[in-house]
Structure 1
Amino acid sequence: MKKSILYIAALALTTVTTLNSCIKEIDPQSSTVTKDQAANAPGAFNNFVSSLTSSLNGEFTYSGSSHYPWDFGYPSFFLQRDVMGQDIAVETSGSEWYTTWYSCGTGLGPTYAVCQLPWTYYYGWIKNCNTVLSLAGEDPANDQKAGAGIAYAMRAMFYMDLARMYAPETYAKNPEAATVPIITEQTSAADATNNPRATNKEIFALILSDLDKAETLLADYKRTDVYTPDVSVVYGLKARAYLTMEDWANAEKYAKQAQTGYQVMTESQYLSKTDGFNKPNASWMFGLTFRPSDPNITENDADSSWGSQMIIEVSGSGCGYSANYVGPKRIDSHLFSTIPATDFRRMCFLDPALDEMSKADAIKALEAYTGDPEGVYTTGTKVSSRGNLGCIEIKFRPKDGEYENQYTAFTVAVPLMRVEEMKLIEAEAAGMQNEARGIELLTAFAKTRDANYEYGTHNEAYYNTATSKFQNECWWQRRVELWGEGFATFDIKRLQKGIIRSYAGTNHVSGYQWNIQNTPNWMNLCIIQSETNNNSACTNNETPKPLSGDSDPFAW
């Protein structure tokens, strides 16, 4: 466990270690860089700006070694959050690296190393943003405006994630609920040791303020790729913030603005065997990419990477946790059963009907899903402890359809924001003001995935009947459309839903087939003990405790 005080470390004008080469003098005692040193180093400002996005993934930021296969950056938090609910069923093997989050394991408590993981990553990223903003000043020079705008946008994104991960109550339910302490470029070291958790109201005020500044500073910025945020991403982040706050008018406004210039993915793009969810297209607003030189790729046979966890079509490589060691992630079998056969998104997951076929027939049928049917069959029936194919995800594809070389297959891009999310925010926000208008927008979107879509068939409440059938329909679309992209826990908390893992035909792991009528407290992350020990004003969330035994099956 790392014992350093993240907040005090966040005040140092340093960034990722790869930037140290551009600094002439470093204090040998602290290995930190003074503001003057950073400002005077050739190209330093642009390097600091580049680090805001380049440090999102690829490095072993938490541990410094390849020993932890979930230590690959921002997309790892997608999986940590998504397995906490019901939409992802993990493997039963003891080598499943996301079991702690799936099973409400003791590692979620404040005295365990896993609890440090988000603290290390997020406050490191925030530190990088604060470095750029300190260098740029309150009135950035023309050649530093875009860099400052990117820093404001990224800091807002990080704090919004933290607020939603740590607040025990969502903004709309309790604006005064505690989130996390705020550190900006103005925070002193003394302040950091007596820094209470900001309320929802306080942290979202900072988020919106940062986004307002980013919107102004990025107004004329033209990016060269989707790996750096521009003003459309700022609009998208505002849409997310206002959705969480239930400021429906602004959520609709900014979700609509964010869509300009983007197009919803077609069926062929969505299901592409070579480029599916691994390469930017006209729907991607923001993303990141794993590079061939990243330690996540070059070390440990590339097994400590997103691809190792989510790309199953590399059986021939002999590597990858999903393909060859543990087995793949799966969609919740009930959720899969609710996706109509006419909805092409169903093809992102293997049909349980394959398990009723002979081996030869199953391999033949798998040709509709993958260019490596025999490899996928082997992964499902031989590698997975379940010994079957049903509900295996095949949404995230190997780069260029590479099935043999994992070093190439895993150098993929990962979407962080898509226009489809904005379509769904717009529809929900519109409908919460005028339901008929929302239904019209939701139906229009749903028909791009299923020409036979009929509104009103996907409104299961998951115990919270206070949400309208319309909002439940929106949630179902989000669960299917954004599966595996990090939204599950955020939506469960926002909509105050329960968890249903126990039902006839469930594919959830025995011992963790829990039905919980309220949002489980393990979705409110604990703050690492070293922080509360050294920051006297910082309180903590309740340490979650796993349930004992499976729940009685839920009757749908």
Structure 2
Amino acid sequence: MKNILKISAAAAAMTLALSGCIKDATPTQIATEDQVTLETLVRGIPAALVMYNSTGYAQDGAAWDFSLPAIHLATESMTGDLVVTGNIGYDWFTQWGTNVSLGSDYAVGALTWDNYYTWIMMANNVIKQIDASDFSSLDATQRSYLGFAYTYRAMFYLDLVRLYEFKENTVTEAPELLGLGVPVVLPETTEAEAKNNPRAKVDDIYDKVIFPDLDNAEELLENYTAPDKYTISLALVYGLKARAWLERGTAKNDAESYRQAAEYARQAITASGCTPLTQEQWEDPTNGFNSATSNDAWIWGLALPSESVANLFCFTVHMSCENDWAPYHAGRGINRNLYYSIDSRDFRRHSWLDPDRSSYAYKSCRPDADTYFKESLADFANIKFRPAQGAYADYKVGGAADHCCMRVEEMYFIEAEATAQAGDLAGGIRLLNEFMTSYRMMNGATYDCTSKSGTLEGFINELMLQKRIEFWGEGIVMFDMKRLDMSSKRGYVGTNAPSSYRLNVEGRAPYWNFVIIRSETQNNPVIATQNNPDPSGLVEPWKG
């Protein structure tokens, strides 16, 4: 596999890490050259996750090339819940939003494939540096570094499997690919093996890589206390286990897997000590969804320091509608139908501008907010993601936003779904009711989904409605929609989606089965016979 030899991005990331890319990092006293190398490798991984030009296409002007935050924006654009509310000519994520140019010959495929395998290589390099045959022989620093590396690698393979596993849909067929994931590259994989490395079975990736890596990480980090939200913690390991067991439960229709998901979700809640965002934190015009330190909800996030911000190559420029420092406003808002499904007593509704701007006293970092919201932004535009520090006019400051990768609310949703899926529907209903009433309803209002949950299917539909609202824009929900074979719809009478984005699919969308890029099929030819069907253009926009 070409990517295990690709070191330029990794080296650049390490350079960024050592120049202070991790916020509030405490300098570690280094005794030997080997330790310097190991720390450099470890610190380079989170730096690589927010690096722009990570695939080399940014230098050609591709403003989607900024690593994991861009991947989250790409998957979010594919759900149907996100709508471009401004000039679509400035939407750098139009391929994912309109299902065009997603085949093996197009550059956008590098965003996921090249990045994830580069990051896996970096994790493998850490693992190679430490003798993992006997954990008891490791000192505290080695244990934490090795625990980090196993956590990262499990996370990356979990994402890759969820992106590339071919799942049945009503548009494309490939029965021979069912149950296949991605090629596995480990520290011992040779160059020759990488060039003849077929897609591994999904079950094998879970059983031989993802779960063992997370088990190792759990053991290694059992007594480790993360100093901040930018550092991997035991709670994150539990959260990843919850995600993985939820996937396994759905794939196998297995009650025990669901019980494991619920158990690990609860362990993540407990170990993290986190509490869901309050209304004040959610609506904070300065720190809303851009700061790991301004709330108690984030389990793990990534830091993007101001010295690393490039104008068009960061999450904020594409997602925040309040900033002035972008030379355009593609604008991103919520699907109109989804917006009107939000209870008026639910404060999350305030994340998007109501057609009646006087319906709520919207907060903003802008002094001209009243005029700006009415005259410059479209109905349903989002104000969920704020410019960092409220710096709407300075891209170096405003773009330096922390990026959330897991917050504790996700664990509450996993626990509720997994409990119901495991056979305790009443328990799942109770958990969702408690979460929504305690943490999302205003002025003492009560949420009760009992009447909508006469069946397990009805409950899952209601839970996913609330989860889609909760995690809009965060890169979480597409994985759930693919897992649960959910439909997506942006074409209907009264839609606020531009015409080319009005895609309607019954059941899972074919473009949720990502296509492997051509450079990989050329360097690893066996993959050429195992690639997912190109979905591009196979879903006609609704023209009603």
TM-score range, shorter chain: 0.7 to 0.9
Corresponding residue number in structure 2 for 1:279: 291
Relative to structure 1, is the Cα distance of residues 174 and 148 closer, same or farther in structure 2, using a 3 angstrom cutoff? farther
| Secondary structure in 2 matching 1:76 | helix
| Secondary structure in 2 matching 1:352 | coil
Q: Is 2:181 the counterpart of 1:190? A: no
Contact 2:166–2:178 (Cα < 8 Å) also in 1 = no
1: CA distance, partners of 2:534 / 2:374: 36
Aligned residues: 500
Corresponding residue number in structure 2 for 1:442: 432
| Secondary structure in 2 matching 1:511 | helix
Corresponding residue number in structure 1 for 2:266: 256
- Cα root mean square deviation, aligned: 2.7
Corresponding residue number in structure 2 for 1:541: 532
Relative to structure 1, is the Cα distance of residues 398 and 19 closer, same or farther in structure 2, using a 3 angstrom cutoff? closer
Contact 1:314–1:375 (Cα < 8 Å) also in 2 = no
Contact 1:62–1:117 (Cα < 8 Å) also in 2 = yes
* More contact order relative to length (CA 8 Å, sep ≥ 6): 2
> More helix per residue: 1 or 2?
2
Relative to structure 1, is the Cα distance of residues 223 and 508 closer, same or farther in structure 2, using a 3 angstrom cutoff? same
Corresponding residue number in structure 2 for 1:310: 319
Contact 1:73–1:121 (Cα < 8 Å) also in 2 = yes
**Identical residues among aligned pairs (%):** 33
Q: Is 2:144 the counterpart of 1:134? A: no
1:364-395, Cα deviation, whole Å (9 max, x unpaired)? x775232426357547744xxxxx52110111
Q: Is 2:7 the counterpart of 1:6? A: no
2: CA distance, partners of 1:94 / 1:366: 31
What is the CA-CA distance between 1:311 and the residue it aligns to? 1.8
What is the CA-CA distance between 1:545 and the residue it aligns to? 2.9
Contact 1:149–1:213 (Cα < 8 Å) also in 2 = yes
Contact 1:515–1:551 (Cα < 8 Å) also in 2 = yes
2: CA distance, partners of 1:133 / 1:160: 18
Relative to structure 1, is the Cα distance of residues 313 and 552 closer, same or farther in structure 2, using a 3 angstrom cutoff? closer
Q: Is 2:93 the counterpart of 1:98? A: yes
Relative to structure 1, is the Cα distance of residues 377 and 77 closer, same or farther in structure 2, using a 3 angstrom cutoff? farther
Relative to structure 1, is the Cα distance of residues 377 and 526 closer, same or farther in structure 2, using a 3 angstrom cutoff? farther
Q: Is 2:172 the counterpart of 1:166? A: no
Relative to structure 1, is the Cα distance of residues 545 and 73 closer, same or farther in structure 2, using a 3 angstrom cutoff? closer
What is the CA-CA distance between 1:14 and the residue it aligns to? 9.1
Contact 1:278–1:413 (Cα < 8 Å) also in 2 = yes
Contact 1:22–1:41 (Cα < 8 Å) also in 2 = no
Equivalent residue letter for 1:100: Q
1: CA distance, partners of 2:70 / 2:522: 27
Give the TM-score, by structure 1 length.
0.84
Corresponding residue number in structure 2 for 1:156: 154
1:301-333, Cα deviation, whole Å (9 max, x unpaired)? x22211111122223xxx22xxx5033111111
Corresponding residue number in structure 1 for 2:44: 51
Equivalent residue letter for 2:219: T
Q: Superposed, which structure 2 residues align to 1:395-434 within 5 Å? A: 395-432=384-421, 433-434=423-424
Relative to structure 1, is the Cα distance of residues 548 and 197 closer, same or farther in structure 2, using a 3 angstrom cutoff? closer
| Secondary structure in 1 matching 2:204 | helix
| Secondary structure in 1 matching 2:180 | coil
What is the CA-CA distance between 1:193 and the residue it aligns to? 1.0
2: CA distance, partners of 1:542 / 1:177: 15
1:125-175, Cα deviation, whole Å (9 max, x unpaired)? 1010000000012235213111010000011111111101101128xx999
2: CA distance, partners of 1:456 / 1:532: 50
Q: Is 2:466 the counterpart of 1:477? A: yes
1: CA distance, partners of 2:108 / 2:234: 34
Equivalent residue letter for 1:152: Y
1: CA distance, partners of 2:15 / 2:363: 46
1: CA distance, partners of 2:58 / 2:541: 36
2: CA distance, partners of 1:250 / 1:192: 34
What is the CA-CA distance between 1:18 and the residue it aligns to? 5.3
Q: Superposed, which structure 2 residues align to 1:521-536 within 5 Å? A: 521-536=510-525
1: CA distance, partners of 2:540 / 2:87: 15
2: CA distance, partners of 1:522 / 1:176: 15
Contact 2:4–2:118 (Cα < 8 Å) also in 1 = no
Select 1:516's aligned residue among 505, 510, 513: 505
Corresponding residue number in structure 1 for 2:542: 551
